[in-house]
Amino acid sequence: MSDSARASIFARIRYSGSGASAAEIAAAREALGRAPAANLPGSDLCSSFLANVLLNRGTVDVVGNRSEAVTAVGKYIYQHYRTHRLVAGNDPRLAAMPWRDAGVLPRFGELEAGEPVALSYARLGVAETGAVVTFTGKANPAANNLLPENHIVVIDVADLVPDMEMAWSRIAHAMTTEQRPRGINFIAGPSSTGDIEGKLVYGAHGPRHWHVILLGEVPQAALGEAQAIAAPAATTGELD
């Protein structure tokens, strides 16, 4: 059934096609150029990214080094869950963190039922949308993004990109040295729904809280600027 369906669908589509060669088609697409991106809200990548994370109803921490990152994680989970435990993917960057310094007890692997907090190390952060990008795999099983109550994401300043075009260019570059990831996830907020009367509610299926830790040389004024940008934002509704 599928073979004849394939042939007939292709025949009908080709009948109304341009008949151009692959080279002509590639040139025509190239001539269309690239799309305009959203303006960055802040004065630099860090402040813009942080502002958009806040606008996406995330919370943020800014830390200078890995030791501070561990401390920030420890403080955050203790405040929210009175625990030192969390689940993290088998990401070498996470394994190399000085967890003992802050008394945090990570379990490396895939999140299991009843575990409330997962930690991911993002591959990229997109300033335009305030999204972090993770690849599925050992380093970050999909369940760790999707099933915890609380999702904590560490992102290096060096991995911030201005817009989604740059994000894809970095992803395409990564694919030249590693296998195509099974899943690429842009995450921009805790799981939400507006399906009941258009009223926005968090924790539809996945995380109710989303905490982003920006690690590296962040300009001193960036966090304050981001908070000022995000503070007066009007509440927007979501439908899906």
Partner 1 sequence: MQQYSDTFLDNASAALADKDKAEVRDAMALFTPLVRNAAMDQFQHFEELRQHVKQVRQHSLDNLGHYLESYEQQAVRNGNQVHFATTGDELNSIVLDICQQHSARRIAKGKSMITEETGLNAFLERANLDVMETDLGEYIIQEAGETPSHIVGPALHKSAAEIRQLFLDRHDLGERELETTEDLVSEARQVLREHFLNAQVGIIGANALIAENGYSMLVTNEGNGDLCANLPPVLIICTSVDRILPRAEDATAMLRLLVRSATGQAQTCYTSFYSGPRREQDIDGPMETHIVLLDNRRSDILASDYREMLQCIRCGACLNHCPIFASVGGHAYGWVYPGPMGSVLTPLLTSLEQSQALPNACTSCGRCAEVCPADIPLPDLLRDLRHAEVEEKIAAPRWRQGLKIHAWLARQPRLYQLLTGMGIALLYLLGRKRGSFSKLPLASGWTSQRDFPSPQGRTFMQQYKAEHKHRE
Contacting partner 1 within 109-168 (CB under 8 A): 109-110, 113, 128-131, 136-138, 141-143, 145-147, 164-165, 167-168
CA–CA distance from 224 to each of 40, 66, 172, 229 (Å)? 16, 22, 34, 9
Measured CA to CA, the distance from residue 109 to residue 98 in angstroms comes to: 18
What minimum distance in Å lies between the beta carbon of 100 and partner 1? 26
What minimum distance in Å lies between the beta carbon of 68 and partner 1? 28
The answer for residues whose C-beta is within 8 angstroms of residue 100's C-beta and 6 or more apart is none
What minimum distance in Å lies between the beta carbon of 169 and partner 1? 8
- In the list 37, 95, 174, 221, the residue contacting partner 1 (rule: CB under 8 A) is 37
Chain positions 179 to 198 lying near partner 1, rule: CB under 8 A, are 179-198
Inter-residue contact 157 to 124 (CB < 8 Å): no
Measured CA to CA, the distance from residue 81 to residue 117 in angstroms comes to: 9
- Per CB under 8 A, 9 contacts partner 1: yes
- Choose between 100 and 205: whose C-beta lies nearer to partner 1: 205
- In the list 82, 100, 173, 205, the residue contacting partner 1 (rule: CB under 8 A) is 205
Measured CA to CA, the distance from residue 104 to residue 125 in angstroms comes to: 25
